[in-house]
Amino acid sequence: MSKNESMIDISRFFEIIKRNIIGIIVCGIIGIVISLIVSFFMITPKYESTVDILVNQKSGNSAMQFNMQQADLQAINTYKDVLKKSVILTPVLKEVREKDNYQGSLTDLQKSIEITNQTNSQVISVTVTDKNAYVATDIANTIGKVFTREIKKMMQVDNVTVVTKASVNTNPVSPNKKLNALVGLILGLTIGITFVIVRDLRDTTVKNQEFLSDELDLVNLGSVYHIESDKQNYRVVEIIEDLDDTNGTGMSRKRV
């Protein structure tokens, strides 16, 4: 494809967009409306709550304190694994079922927990996601309580404490309504643009004389108009034929 042809195609594309801009905007608005309806009425909101656990052994000796700190940092990966094991979550599940009437299974509880730890940080953050903000908070705090109790028995150390208890956050983390609205707008505009372009490409109607000469390289010989009437028929086309006649004109005229 030559540069001129490419420019013609691009200009035609923008011409199609300009000609159908109202319809494309309507498609974008419809996309936003649908996404908001889905976000507000079809997706169950979910809430998060986080408890922070500190891993730290104390010692009066500064040299020993440094060694203990390094040991705590190495133990954090182990603690992160233990936090999602049944030895911790089974008593947690039992307690939240009694307190909050939690209906999930042990697997559901494991999937609702996310454990994070910053590099070289002795703080482990346990984030719980649930469809009820208060249940999420209770689960997080129960995990912190059970973990600090059970890890002492398992590891024979007293280096775990809860530094920040989980608090109730009634602002849902999902669905993200603003993001969904933006996605709906983009999808709506994309569908609208695709539709008008495909419709234009499939339209074989000759709309003007320039199309015949520029696009199809044909010569325009005239126009035929369709006229309907209940009273009479109109004869609007004259066909000129080359005929041999005795008058020597070389032509005769017929009406249709």
For residue range 111-140, list pLDDT tens digits in order. 999 999 888 888 999 999 999 999 999 999
Q: For residues 27 and 238, what is the distance between their CA atoms, to the nearest angstrom?
A: 47
pTM, to two decimals: 0.65
The low-confidence residues of the chain, meaning pLDDT below 50, are 2, 4-8, 236-243, 246, 249-256
Token code pair at residue 217 = 């390289």
pLDDT number for residue 227? 58
Mean pLDDT of the chain: 80
pLDDT number for residue 88? 93
pLDDT number for residue 4? 47
pLDDT number for residue 252? 45
Contact 46, 130 (CB under 8 A): yes
Token code pair at residue 138 = 């209770």
For residue range 48-89, list pLDDT tens digits in order. 999 999 887 665 555 565 566 666 677 788 888 899 899 999
Q: For residues 192 and 85, what is the distance between their CA atoms, to the nearest angstrom?
A: 50
pLDDT number for residue 92? 95
Amino acid letter, residue 96: V
Q: For residues 46 and 174, what is the distance between their CA atoms, to the nearest angstrom?
A: 5
User: Residue 214 gets which letter from DSSP?
Assistant: I
What are φ and ψ of residue 239, in 5° steps? -110, 125
Residue with tokens 């372009």: 197
∠ CA 166-170-175 to the nearest 5 degrees? 115
**Residues whose CB falls within 8 Å of the CB of residue 158, separated by 6 or more in sequence, listed in order:** 57, 152
Contact 46, 171 (CB under 8 A): no
Full set of structural domains in the chain with CATH: 3-43+175-202 (no CATH), 47-164 (3.30.70.1130), 220-255 (no CATH)
pLDDT number for residue 113? 95
